[in-house]
Amino acid sequence: MEKIKMEAVAEIGAAQSENELVSVNKRYLDKDGTLGEFFKSLGSLSKEERGVAGVKANRIKQEILAVFEKKASELKEKNKNKRSDKDWLDVTLPGINPRVGHLHPLTLVERRIVEIFYGMGFEIIQSQEIENEWYNFDALNIPKDHPARDVFDTLFLKDGSPLRPHTSPGQVRYMENHQPPLRVIVPGRVFRRDAVDASHMPNFYQIEGLMVDKALSVANFKAVIDEFFKQFFCDSETELDVYGKNSAKATAEKDNIRLRPSFFPFTEPSFEVDLRCVHCAGKGCSACKGTGWMEVMGAGMVHPNVLKNAGVNPQFWQGFAFGIGMDRLAMIKYKVNDIRLFYENDQRFLEQF
Ligand code: DAH
């Protein structure tokens, strides 16, 4: 029995985990365990021997149990410490600074443009990127044999649907469902069969604008667009704010936009809108090729045929429309000299915004 006790105590002492301890306990103290067998064997002894041996065996059982319980509570304590080691938190450690993402410069510009026009009462809609011949050309007064269909150099899907080369189809789609007076802008992605260079991408962004009302004139257009540029560039974080705090005085007396006659099938008259160069305030620099002006959008008074095609009676209503190249405005605002930078996703570039 002393031998059994020594073995049991040694095994209990060696147990590393509560599980191991339980199996040691079973092996010695269970009915079928070593001690259990011993008690059973007592039956073969004489009465006196049985009494003496039984008392001794019980004492040893109690001693083993005591060692077992001590070990069990030790292991429990150890485990408790182990768990809190793992969960322990050093609140004095410096935190991990999560890298916060930010918006792409084109998204920033789009949101700003939208915000400004929204402030002037324009509704903002999206129009589809996959168009059909009617909305893309016919409804916009572009006849079947008109060179404009080549000029746009449209990309077509296999089923013949054009990918919109401009946001102008959005005008017609909107007017079909809304009666004037109306003001709407249509920001979105457009596609052209253009070779990639510093100022061309086959995929870029425009914002279409349309206002239809009674007795609208080019003067209204000029007022709206002038206000737009004033707001768009006055909050510019760069030095190039013609309208901003730095140079407001210098240019307050001058016209900051000018209209040059142009041609678009969907407007009459049509014009290109130039913005006084925001880099040099009109003196002439490399950004404006020495002219003092930057071409920023096409515009005009909506052609009566376009109104008719969209279900608006041109006898009662007039409108102006314009198409702004969003990439171009972003390039001007952020002094970016290559449109490709917006699409290459080079982190060194994107992280600057
Ligand atoms: N859709 C023209 C383009 O992509 C831009 C444009 C010109 C839009 C005149 C207009 C407009 O709404 O009136 O070049």
- pLDDT tens-digit series, residues 231-284: 888 755 444 445 555 554 444 456 788 999 999 999 999 999 998 887 777 788
Residue 267 CA: which ligand 1 atom is closest?
13
Report the distance separating Cα 340 and Cα 200, nearest Å.
Answer: 8
Which conformational region is residue 300 in: left (phi greater than 0), alpha (psi within -120 to 50 degrees), or beta?
left
The most confident of the ranges 95-104, 179-188, 287-296 is 179-188
Task: Give how far the C-alpha of residue 42 lies from the chain's centroid of Cα atoms, to the nearest Å.
Answer: 82
b/e burial code for range 86-99 (CB count within 10 A of at least 16 → b): eeeeeeeeeeeeee
Closest Cα partner for 202 from 161, 158, 167, 153? 153
Averaged pLDDT for residues 86-94: 83
pLDDT confidence of residue 85? 67
Cα three-residue angle 225-266-293, rounded to 5 degrees: 40
Residue 32 CA to ligand 1 centre (angstroms): 95
Strand 257-262 and strand 267-276: pairing?
Answer: antiparallel
Closest Cα partner for 213 from 324, 312, 322, 323? 312
Residue 300 CA: which ligand 1 atom is closest?
13
Residue 266 CA: which ligand 1 atom is closest?
13
- Identity (one letter) of the amino acid at 11? E
Residue 209 CA: which ligand 1 atom is closest?
12
Report the distance separating Cα 331 and Cα 236, nearest Å.
Answer: 12
Residue 63 CA to ligand 1 centre (angstroms): 98
pLDDT confidence of residue 238? 44
Residue 121 CA to ligand 1 centre (angstroms): 21
More confident position, 75 or 119: 119
Residue 264 CA to ligand 1 centre (angstroms): 7
pLDDT confidence of residue 254? 63
pLDDT confidence of residue 240? 45
Supply 163's token pair: 């990918």
Coil, strand or helix: which one is 319?
Answer: strand
b/e burial code for range 27-55 (CB count within 10 A of at least 16 → b): bbbeeebebbebeeeeeeeeeeeeeebee
b/e burial code for range 225-254 (CB count within 10 A of at least 16 → b): bbebbbbbbeebeeebbbbbeebeeebeee
pLDDT confidence of residue 248? 45
Coil, strand or helix: which one is 172?
Answer: helix
Nearest-CA residue for ligand 1 atom 8 is 323
Report the distance separating Cα 296 and Cα 30, nearest Å.
Answer: 92
Supply 127's token pair: 């129009």
Residue 265 CA to ligand 1 centre (angstroms): 9
Residue 178 CA to ligand 1 centre (angstroms): 20
CB within 6 Å of ligand 1 — which residues? 166, 168, 208, 264, 266-267, 298-300, 321-323
Mean pLDDT of the chain: 87
Check: pTM over 0.85? Answer yes or no: no
Nearest-CA residue for ligand 1 atom 5 is 323
Q: What is the pLDDT of residues 161-211, one digit of tens each?
A: 999 999 999 999 999 999 999 999 999 999 998 889 998 999 999 999 999
φ and ψ at 249, to 5 degrees?
-65, -45
Nearest-CA residue for ligand 1 atom 14 is 298
